[in-house]
Chain A
């Protein structure tokens, strides 16, 4: 068996333990995005997380949004990129842009 960490397996395990879970997914990328479409970051209600949607540039912001999504139950689409500094405090230093979908696991 592989010992590679798998965010989707972690999400299922956490949910079965009764923890609240949000799943963030890279849905679109432009330019030099560090993680391809389909990459996941999973977050629990206490801010524990596994996986990645960038090279560590925007994970902090995604986790904050994920906690909102867990509370509200409503999914969100987040845009990150160097051009979006007014909309988001964090950006991608590599110059790419990514769109991240955050949803609650029900």
Chain B
């Protein structure tokens, strides 16, 4: 592999662009395809398929087996609520390779002291998510318990096809949430995609354990997501 091709590949990955490195095992020659940039005609069909599936493998091109190694942007988490649980999430998420953004308009909670080194935005989700768009590679976990803060983010996450949408709260709390979302025009089918109560059932008790349960549920949702898009 050429070092300049490796550098181009790593640069694309750093900027959250999908990228394929093609290697011809017979000659050792490599080629880099960045999503959105022109692709040689004979590679176009295979490249599109690999970008969509996210699966690397050997593909026959004009009788030659070429290895398509695809790198999709790493999934990231947007957490609504600068609370004790998200302090735990801020420590756990980097270990499994997830970027994390925390949004909370309550400046008493969203302080740099409580979230050192974390991408923390002390503003309303309505305002933040206009600038920082959600996408299918993003998981949204709403954990403030406050409908004024959580509801918009949940509806927006469902609208944008986030691969995971989770909301903290008891079944009773979630029942009232469902009523509010229905009133605001979100469909029942969409609402059914919300993970609530949030987190895998591991009997989590402490905030850190709940953070682990949420993260594990996010990993499961990403690894088992359907390619047609949207939360599972």
A residues lining the B interface (CB < 8 Å): 1-4, 8-9, 11-12, 15-16, 23, 25, 27-28, 36-38, 75, 77, 101, 103-106
Contact = CB atoms under 8 A, between A and B. Distances in A.
A98 B188 CA distance: 45
Interface string B61-79: 0000001011000100000
Q: Which bucket holds chain B's interface residue count?
A: 20 to 34
B9 interface: yes
Given A11-B6, A15-B6, A75-B25, A38 B1 contact: no
Contacts of B95: 3-4
A27 B67 contact: yes
Interface in B23-75: 23, 25, 28, 55-58, 67, 69-70, 74
Given A4-B96, A9-B10, A36-B56, A23 B1 contact: yes
Contacts of A101: 23, 25, 67
B98 interface: yes
Given A12-B6, A101-B23, A105-B1, A28 B58 contact: yes
Contacts of A2: 74, 93-94, 97-99
Contacts of B55: 37
A103 B9 contact: no
A44 to B, nearest CB: 14
Nearest to B3: A15
A12 B10 contact: yes
B7 interface: yes
Given A8-B9, A38-B69, A106 B99 contact: no
B132 interface: no
B3 A1 contact: no
Contact of A38 (B28, B56, B74): B56
A103 B6 contact: no
B28 A37 contact: no
B2 interface: yes
Interface string B198-219: 0000000000000000000000
